[in-house]
Amino acid sequence: MKIIVTGGVGFIGANFVYYELREHPEDAIVCYDALTYAGNLATLDAAKENPKFAFVRGDIADRAAVYALFEREQPDIVVNFAAESHVDRSIENPEIFLQTNIIGTSVLLDACRKYGIKRYHQVSTDEVYGDLPLDRPDLLFTEETPLHTSSPYSSSKAAADLFVLAYHRTYGLPVTISRCSNNYGPYHFPEKLIPLIISRALANEELPVYGKGENVRDWLHVKDHCSAIDLIVRKGKVGEVYNVGGHNERTNLEVVKTILKVLDKPESLIRFVSDRPGHDMRYAIDPTKIENELGWKPEYNFDTGIVQTIEWYLNNREWWEHIVSGEYTKYFEEMYANRLDS
């Protein structure tokens, strides 16, 4: 079987490439990625040694390039990770999110219609549901929760999900969607909370935390996410949405303090910054459907998973140090320097 993995150089996509090569060595994997700012091709150095792996550079919104890819590769399955994914960047520049996340998804769907496909899988996010109140820990996102987006990023992902479901209903395209909670683990670009805090704490630099750090996220180890997607693609029911969560709710401040404790760094590094516009308060996933229907269970809990993640960053400094020393430094200053509370 041949699988096209779009956005396969990114954080979750790359981890999925390695998961598939390891768990299904009989399958061929074609990674299609535009190599935007968060795409570090060195992430897939080990995969490039595998004869079942191939890399093609290209943009999912480039119809001619996508059609040429499908014509040449004739894939059985497409798993779409390709997306602009950082909420802060979507607030600063929404347009690229519309181009990649919506137009790009529609191009892939059209290619699947034109060339035929056994399964198209859309990797989405729990952010399409909006947020939950902090004082109602009993409330969780289910697959029936109405879409209620807060940011340009989540709006673009919700729109893409609706396109995917519309192509299933209108054209009979065999699709599935997964909506996950916040991921963590190896190869995470340093603009996201956990790798940002790890990299800056190691350098004894100030650690920006939005608001009072009270926002709650449900943390899912990326390897657990990959195993869930693999199950959905191979055994999930066509036309269905599956929520994937880790049962690991933590406030942002708790996450930061946990990292500092593991690294033996002082909490005095924490600097509270003015909050993100429209910042969602709490995300929490109910994964009952995927657990009951497909037998999926997360293997990692946050307390052990975060320690392993920190160890990975300590052992793979060459992967991320050149990132934080380059163009990303300019971006960090633009995003956080003027938000530090006096």
Q: CA 200 to CA 213: how far, in whole Å? A: 17
Query: pLDDT per residue over 61-102, tens digit each?
Result: 999 999 999 999 999 999 999 987 666 676 777 788 888 999
SS (H, E, C) 202-238: HCCCCEEEECCCCCEEEEEEHHHHHHHHHHHHHHCCC
In a domain, 102, yes or no: yes
Q: CA 291 to CA 79: how far, in whole Å? A: 21
Query: pLDDT per residue over 16-31, tens digit each?
Result: 999 999 999 999 999 9
H/E stretch holding 293: helix 288-294
pLDDT at 319: 87
Torsion angle (degrees, nearest 10) of CA 222, 224, 225, 228: 160
The yes-or-no verdict on residue 37 having pLDDT over 80 is no
In a domain, 180, yes or no: yes
pLDDT at 328: 45
Would you give the distance in Å from CA 304 to the centre of its chain? Answer: 20
Number of domains in the chain: 1
Q: CA 310 to CA 194: how far, in whole Å? A: 9
Q: Are 4 and 81 in contact (CB under 8 A)?
A: no
* Residue 115 amino acid letter: Y
Q: Considering only residues 322 and 158, tell me which one the structure prediction assigns the higher pLDDT.
A: 158
Spatial CB neighbours of 96, under 8 Å, sequence gap ≥ 6: 84
pLDDT at 64: 98
pLDDT at 152: 86
Residues involved in catalysis: 126-127, 153
H/E stretch holding 194: helix 193-202
The yes-or-no verdict on residue 126 having pLDDT over 70 is yes
CATH number of the domain within which 129 lies? 3.40.50.720
* Nearest of 117, 92, 237 to residue 178 by alpha carbon: 237
In a domain, 164, yes or no: yes
Q: Are 185 and 132 in contact (CB under 8 A)?
A: no
Tokens 């990299």 label which residue?
199
In a domain, 284, yes or no: no
CA distance from start to end of the chain: 57
Query: pLDDT per residue over 310-325, tens digit each?
Result: 999 999 998 888 776 6
DSSP structural state of residue 192: S
Structure token digits, residue 38:
């968060």
In a domain, 163, yes or no: yes
Coil, strand or helix: which one is 14?
helix
10 Å CB burial of residue 303 (0-12, 13-18, 19+) is: exposed
| Other Cβ atoms closer than 10 A to 314 | 12
Mean of pLDDT values over 185-203? 90
Spatial CB neighbours of 120, under 8 Å, sequence gap ≥ 6: 77, 78, 80, 108, 109, 112, 164, 167, 173, 174, 175, 176
Domain extent for 92: 2-184+219-244
Which string of DSSP letters, residue by residue, matches 127-164? GGG----TT-TT--B-TTSPP---SHHHHHHHHHHHHH
Beta strands 216-221 and 182-184 are parallel
